[in-house]
Amino acid sequence: MVHIGPWSNYPPPRHLLQSGIVPPNVAIVDDEEPVRKALKRLLVASGFEVESYASGKEFLATNHQPPDCVVLDLHMPGMSGLQVLEELRASHRQLPTVVITAYDDRRGAGAVSRCRCERLPAQAAGRAGALNSISASMAQARSPTPKR
């Protein structure tokens, strides 16, 4: 898949489609159905291909083409977002990730930075916040410094 970026200026879908650019693929992992649905709508409206998953287990179990970016809720029952990150790291499938932190939570901040994620506090999860974080995480993933 070819990325043409940066995406920080949110090209509208019509322009994307006309220009023949393949839209970036985003996976949403969130246990809360209303939030999952709403984020999916927002990202679709902003021109992304979106797959959504109700739990970390479901996401990891799906045998899919790796998404260009994962939007991951940390606060989930069963397998938490942090566990998903650790799992991805352990299996060398590290992906550009935006983690949705539930509130001003310092727990797991270390793990989040280890995995080179963008943090998106839930209260800032509006369009600008989400899109900025997604493009930042993808830009970071493309940068040559650390190993993938």
Partner 1 sequence: MVALGYYLAARVGFAFTLQPHPISTLWPPNAMLLAVLLLAPTRAWWWLLAAALPGHLLAELQSGVPAAMVLGWYLSNCCEALIGASLMRAFAPAPFRLDSLRNVGVFLACGALAAPLLSSFIDAALVRLIGWGEAATGTWCRTRVYSNTLAALTVAPLILTWSNVDLSQLRRVRVARAAEAAALFIGLLAVSFVVFGLPAVNANAMPALFYAPLPFLLWAAVRLGPAGTASALAAMAVMTIWGGVHGLGPFSGQPPEETAREMQLFLSAVAVPMLLLAVVLDQGARVERDAFEQRQQLTHLSRVATLGELSGGIAHELNQPLTAILSNAQAARQFIANKTGDPALLAEILEDIIVADQRASEVIRRLHAMFKRGETQFEKLDVNVIVQDVLGIVQGDLVTRSVAVVAQLGAGLPQVYGDRVELQQVVLNLVMNACEAMAATASEERRVTISTATVAGAVQITVSDRGSGFTSDQHARLFEPFYTTKPRGLGLGLSISRAIVLTHGGRVWCAPRAGGGRPSISRCRPKNDRDR
- Examine residue 21 and tell whether it contacts partner 1 (CB under 8 A): no
Q: Where are the alpha helices (DSSP H) in 92-144?
A: 109-114, 127-142
Piece in contact with partner 1 (CB under 8 A), picked from 48-56, 95-103, 109-117, 138-146: 95-103
Asked if 137 and 97 touch (Cβ cutoff 8 Å), the reply is yes
Nearer to partner 1, 37 or 148 (CB): 37
What's the CA dihedral at 126, 51, 107, 136 to 10 degrees? -60
Asked if 30 and 100 touch (Cβ cutoff 8 Å), the reply is yes
Question: What is d(CA 18, CA 52) in angstroms, rounded to the nearest whole number?
Answer: 26
CA angle 60, 55, 71 (to 5 degrees): 80
- Examine residue 75 and tell whether it contacts partner 1 (CB under 8 A): yes
**Least distance to partner 1, CB of residue 72, Å:** 14
- Examine residue 125 and tell whether it contacts partner 1 (CB under 8 A): yes
Which of 78, 144, 145, 147 forms a contact with partner 1 (CB under 8 A)? 78
**Tokens 């023949």 belong to which residue?**
20
Piece in contact with partner 1 (CB under 8 A), picked from 8-16, 55-63, 91-99, 137-145: 8-16
- Residues of this chain that bind partner 1 (CB under 8 A): 12-14, 32, 34-35, 37-39, 41-42, 44-46, 75-78, 80, 100, 102-103, 105, 122-123, 125-127, 130
